Structure 1
């Protein structure tokens, strides 16, 4: 019953609905007692040859009236109880989804997408079943079972009632034991399902890579292994689950034998009529469902408890980066001052940034270059407030970035990541995602700035072309340019291009950069790139190595130093000559 205590907050919220539902269940529990008693009366009247057409019609009319009343009551308790359980599922899904949107990058690095999906589907459904079917079975077994037992004891014979109930404690003990086993095995089965869910999501997402490397057979084998593991774990659950019905049927069968045997003796002794024994056994038949419900209750509660624990464990994960009290509800603007003495990614021993200090005036462009792992992305992640815990200060305008509300900071930054994510919808909707109220003219304008407008018009459906899952139908360069257009739509104070021109040719790159320069004269831009042509025009260029700035200045100043930047530039110039004009847009 622990899960009911943990869901106490919800039952209080939906108190009215559950009270009405339980009241309807109680009325049904009372009404259900009437037909067996009428059957007993009719049998006794047949035996005494006093049954008439009028009395038979009267009993039939009463049964029909009871049936109609039960229909109405059952409709309303289902609306109240099952309707409330659906509302609980809605609340839990919204809580999970809202929680997911608040979590930082480290949260998703530690958890698999398939596991998170399992939380929002299977686990929520199990808790929903607890608040619906679980509540029904608890009160139905108590109310219906209680009323039936009282009717048997008071209206027929209390001695026969006690005899028929002798096997029932064994049912309570066995179902309780089964429930404990079920709780353990169901948790393991859910974990196995999460593994399979994650594998499915990963394989479908990476299907092109799998086929390219000819690994589809190996991937199928891996999927089959995980699928068999899910079946194996669920079979262990099923073995315990399958014990409930036979155990209950056996115990109820023993109760029937005891009632028939001792009931027959009471009839012979003149202490009971045949009609009473028929009514008693009919009542005993009505006890089968409450007893089954009692057994199923443990099954549902243990599943619900295991799933609710998993959901609560997820929801209890603290939000690492959130608005501080009294955070500024204004959109940041102005100079960027980056003074970080040291920063380490969570779980890392080595510093990702060390003594990185620079100032970027509003309207200027910053270029950041360096080898993979040099610290370029770390700078961008800190500006985006995806990580904290650094030594130092970062200002955007007159205030530190953590003084602003998160949503206001995000509004001021247009970010184009290295890995471009497009939604499975139209090109138009992908660009307008950052501002759904933008006009068609504005969408087309930013597409022109990103040098993708003509490409879009060449598609058969133009801006209404469906791009497919994660933009699968587009080339790398097209995805990059659509992502740039999406970021430009909000007219951000700070535009960050994280190696976002790598898949376009030199001519397209130059056209995009020139358009941005003309359009964003008063706005700030940060570009990280392995290709130095993308940052030659920058007002300030940082050369990073192992998380530290080894050189900084304009292109001309760095070339005059004849250091790291000079070496990189000369090498890339040589590569251009070898490639005779550069790589084509993919």
Structure 2
């Protein structure tokens, strides 16, 4: 029955064959573990055999004290041997299985780091976390407990049946195993149901994980809108759906033990019926019958192990399919097959005919150049395409119609690592890690000194804010910088980018949360500190770009105005009108105070 199971499509089609690379990688440890497990199965045959002999000697009144002592000593020796061997196989099989979890987590993390933003728009954070936890745990259990169950059940069943067949009675053995083929058929049918139910249960767990992650991340918004009851009701629905999917999977899972025990019971009935007849006919002794029934007890574990194995195999198969689906996806932004060996800052040239994002045209007819060391200002209404221009330079997306050149080369000719190492980027939505301010600022290079950190925070006008905190630079900012104000987060994120003194610095609306005075001080520091290096600033407050060598006004993905501050004021277009309105607003605020 076990042989049929191992050859079945359900067991071998995907999971064992696809995990063979790991078993080959760790073959030495698995071989040691399997040999130890095999020896346990063989030694485990001794106690029933010894018990049968003692029963026969008692029934024939031939049991001597010395013989009993030697038999008991042999039992004790077998017990110590099995103790040591069980420790070995647990370390070498169960322990080795955690190596698979480590490898798969590493592969997933590497996949996550190299994928483009479009990947994260298709997969929510909670779903990715479910793959990295629940699915990998299922694989670990398969590589550990699954292998143990398969090997132990196979060897125990084989050596036990052979011992029963050759040393006791081949007739009783053949009759005892009659129910087993029927059990194999029934469990195989049940396994097909389990596969689908485990797949739905894992998908439901991913949805639940997403819900928890989003609810916790957005708890402030939920409370500010007084939406707790609705959020709780929504979570209860998802939680109930997950519970129902797991209960469906469990309903199939729990059928295995009763099903196996039903057929095990049939083997006992047949054995007692045939055994009593053979004892009466003096074909077997009472001791042999006791030994035979004890061996039947030993067969219960292999038969029960089939249920455990089906469970772990189906869960592992579903989980591996989900993980492989993620690992099989390719980023839509990849390195050139022959990237340039070196990269250097130079003239930046945009020649974009069209760029579409998510099947919608986002940019069109974008043509301009920026010399090395100049500052570019990008302004315009929300959704005008400013951030899209920046993300194309960072190669978060790639152009199909047009090119962006740095120096004499298309940016696609450089490796992604080289290109991005040249650029310091401060995004609109600053992300701070749940660590100290010091570690956040020197995130890209932990070897940077405290003095360097202090100098850059003075440039970004956040030094005084940090020193006013009880723990100064050692202050823990909390998850996503929850303990800081919006302006503090912006300036710390800016410090993190500027401390590396990048050849190209991009500030994507990174001064929106600071006051006009602080903004002016930061801009002046940038002009002084970054002489000879390229800076790109997007802003809604035009005072942030008045010093720029080139200002582009974006609207609906196109450039509608371009020039220096004075040139754009003279054109009396969108820029001039917006600048005048903002100056009036600032004057009005000043009049109030």
Asked if Structure 1 and Structure 2 have the same fold, meaning a TM-score greater than 0.5 normalized by the shorter chain, the answer is yes
- From 316, 326, 343, give the equivalent of 2:328: 316
**What is the CA deviation profile of residues 208-250 of structure 1, one whole-angstrom value per residue up to 9, with x for unaligned ones?**
1111111111111111111111111000011111101111112
Distance 1:528 1:269, change over 3 A: same
What CA distance in whole angstroms lies between the structure 1 residues aligned with 2:300 and 2:480? 54
SS of the counterpart of 2:405?
strand
- From 257, 260, 264, give the equivalent of 2:276: 264
SS of the counterpart of 1:334?
coil
- From 63, 66, 69, give the equivalent of 2:78: 66
Are residues 1:472 and 2:472 paired?
no
Question: Which 10-residue stretch deviates more, 277-286 or 126-135?
Answer: 126-135
In the alignment, what sits opposite 1:224? 236
In the alignment, what sits opposite 1:367? 377
In the alignment, what sits opposite 1:88? 100
User: Is the CA contact (8 Å cut-off) linking 2:343 and 2:419 kept in structure 1?
Assistant: yes
SS of the counterpart of 2:583?
helix
- From 24, 27, 43, give the equivalent of 1:15: 27
Any residues of structure 2 matched to 1:110-509 within 5 Å, and which?
A: 110-345=122-357, 347-349=358-360, 351-509=361-519
User: Is the CA contact (8 Å cut-off) linking 1:329 and 1:408 kept in structure 2?
Assistant: no
Distance 1:489 1:525, change over 3 A: same
What CA distance in whole angstroms lies between the structure 2 residues aligned with 1:341 and 1:574? 38
In the alignment, what sits opposite 1:560? 570
SS of the counterpart of 1:356?
strand
Distance 1:329 1:75, change over 3 A: farther
Q: CA deviation at 1:373?
A: 1.1
What CA distance in whole angstroms lies between the structure 2 residues aligned with 1:329 and 1:514? 35
**What is the CA deviation profile of residues 236-275 of structure 1, one whole-angstrom value per residue up to 9, with x for unaligned ones?**
0111111011111121122112211211111111111110
**What is the CA deviation profile of residues 559-582 of structure 1, one whole-angstrom value per residue up to 9, with x for unaligned ones?**
011111111111212222333379
Q: CA deviation at 1:526?
A: 0.3
User: Is the CA contact (8 Å cut-off) linking 1:450 and 1:484 kept in structure 2?
Assistant: yes
**What is the CA deviation profile of residues 4-54 of structure 1, one whole-angstrom value per residue up to 9, with x for unaligned ones?**
011111122122222222222221111111110000000001111111221
**What is the CA deviation profile of residues 71-122 of structure 1, one whole-angstrom value per residue up to 9, with x for unaligned ones?**
2222222222122211111110000000000000010011111111101111
**What is the CA deviation profile of residues 427-475 of structure 1, one whole-angstrom value per residue up to 9, with x for unaligned ones?**
1111111221111111111111110000000000000001111111110
User: Is the CA contact (8 Å cut-off) linking 2:392 and 2:399 kept in structure 1?
Assistant: no
Are residues 1:53 and 2:60 paired?
no
What CA distance in whole angstroms lies between the structure 2 residues aligned with 1:186 and 1:254? 30
TM-score scaled by structure 1?
0.97
In the alignment, structure 2 segments of 5+ residues that lack a partner are 1-10
What CA distance in whole angstroms lies between the structure 2 residues aligned with 1:27 and 1:389? 63
What CA distance in whole angstroms lies between the structure 2 residues aligned with 1:35 and 1:516? 83
What CA distance in whole angstroms lies between the structure 1 residues aligned with 2:47 and 2:399? 72
Question: Which 10-residue stretch deviates more, 112-121 or 403-412?
Answer: 403-412
Distance 1:582 1:331, change over 3 A: farther
In the alignment, what sits opposite 2:535? 525
User: Is the CA contact (8 Å cut-off) linking 1:506 and 1:582 kept in structure 2?
Assistant: no
What CA distance in whole angstroms lies between the structure 1 residues aligned with 2:591 and 2:433? 33
What CA distance in whole angstroms lies between the structure 2 residues aligned with 1:576 and 1:490? 34
What CA distance in whole angstroms lies between the structure 2 residues aligned with 1:328 and 1:488? 26
Distance 1:128 1:392, change over 3 A: same
What CA distance in whole angstroms lies between the structure 2 residues aligned with 1:580 and 1:140? 82
What CA distance in whole angstroms lies between the structure 2 residues aligned with 1:175 and 1:67? 34
Q: CA deviation at 1:407?
A: 1.1
SS of the counterpart of 1:497?
strand
SS of the counterpart of 2:82?
helix
What CA distance in whole angstroms lies between the structure 2 residues aligned with 1:578 and 1:344? 41
User: Is the CA contact (8 Å cut-off) linking 2:101 and 2:137 kept in structure 1?
Assistant: yes
User: Is the CA contact (8 Å cut-off) linking 1:434 and 1:489 kept in structure 2?
Assistant: no
User: Is the CA contact (8 Å cut-off) linking 2:119 and 2:331 kept in structure 1?
Assistant: no
Q: Which runs of 4+ in 1 moved over 4 A?
A: none
Output the aligned Cα RMSD.
1.3
What CA distance in whole angstroms lies between the structure 1 residues aligned with 2:591 and 2:556? 32
User: Is the CA contact (8 Å cut-off) linking 1:332 and 1:404 kept in structure 2?
Assistant: no
User: Is the CA contact (8 Å cut-off) linking 1:505 and 1:582 kept in structure 2?
Assistant: no
What CA distance in whole angstroms lies between the structure 2 residues aligned with 1:75 and 1:338? 66
SS of the counterpart of 1:287?
helix
User: Is the CA contact (8 Å cut-off) linking 2:437 and 2:475 kept in structure 1?
Assistant: yes
SS of the counterpart of 1:352?
strand
What CA distance in whole angstroms lies between the structure 2 residues aligned with 1:565 and 1:356? 18
User: Is the CA contact (8 Å cut-off) linking 1:413 and 1:494 kept in structure 2?
Assistant: yes
**What is the CA deviation profile of residues 489-548 of structure 1, one whole-angstrom value per residue up to 9, with x for unaligned ones?**
111001100000000000000011111111000111000001000001111000011111
SS of the counterpart of 2:511?
coil
What CA distance in whole angstroms lies between the structure 2 residues aligned with 1:118 and 1:170? 38
